[in-house]
Structure 1
Amino acid sequence: MSAILRNLEELPRQNASHVKNRWGEVVRQVQESGSVAVTNHSTVEMVLLTAATYNQLVEDAQAVKAREQSVLDELGRRFDARLGALQEPGAAQQVGNLFAAKGKLGRRPKAGDSF
């Protein structure tokens, strides 16, 4: 995420009554600090932030979602390729032979070209 956001505990705070009665001051504070936590009975209930910060958050969230979808699409393609290999003629027999071998190899493994 390219927007640098502070933790909720680090934000400047204004109680809801102050926000209601002195909106202009709160707007200036948001523009100066980037965001303000609005409290009600000492509990943060919401955060006010600039439109630019909100837009950046939306763009960042969409970028993350696009990356996730790209990864899921790639995994889907790999799954389909493996499933296709298992559906080829003779694949069931090969899998059966593999399980029947119980981990034993039919011949000794080679340890490289000079073995």
Structure 2
Amino acid sequence: MLFDDKAVREMPLVSASRIESEGWPCVKSVLSQTGRVAITEDGKVTAFVLSIAEYEQLLPEDRPKDLAALRKRFDARLAVLNEPGAGDRLRSVMDAPVKPRLEGTSDGTKCSELLGGVYVLGRVPSMFEWIRLMREGLPFSCMDAFCDRLGLSLPQLIDEVGVSSVAIGASRQSGKLTKEQSIRLLRMARVVEYGCEVFESVAATRDWLRAPNISLGDVPPMSLLDTEFGAELVRRAIRNIEYGLPV
């Protein structure tokens, strides 16, 4: 059994949140939020589990090509997945129908929390109020709050999303972000909000956004959030993970 890029793309993709909702939480730690698995026809798991983040951190020349090499690294995961009935339970999760959910239908509560919540914004803004706030410029405190929630320093965030440090410095002095900075910050917050629904935590979403992603040109998803088109690609990748679709 060879393990190459094509094989990886063809393996099933399973959302850890979906598995947990089906009553098999032990898989969450095995998959490291999202992983790829191979299942034999008799329902036994005989391959391995490799999280997307782990795989993408390997250079092409370092990626193991055979199952024997993989087993040396993932014996513990194989042991868990090869428990009696594990394959059948995972297969039932993968084959279960997914309830449709409209992306972006959140009431914005999580997004508001990411940007400082009531303490900074006064209340949870409605969709129309978000538009007004972006036009007028969000309080600079929203940027500080977002960095704090993600566990990143302001210089790290500036570097990863390609914002001018000079412009950010000017905004800090004025106490308010520019319209463009506000739009970009809210765009990032909305993506993180959606990611939290799928990956179940800010930390897991942050780690996924910062890790190079094969399906997104082998760059960190975070680096694409400076444009709406890039953000849409990132949202699509998250949606595919949520619904177990190919990426």
Is this a same-fold pair by TM over 0.5? no
The two structures have a TM-score, normalised by structure 1, of 0.25
| Greater relative contact order, per chain length (Cα 8 Å cut-off, separation 6+) | 2
TM-score by length of 2: 0.13
More strand by percentage = 1
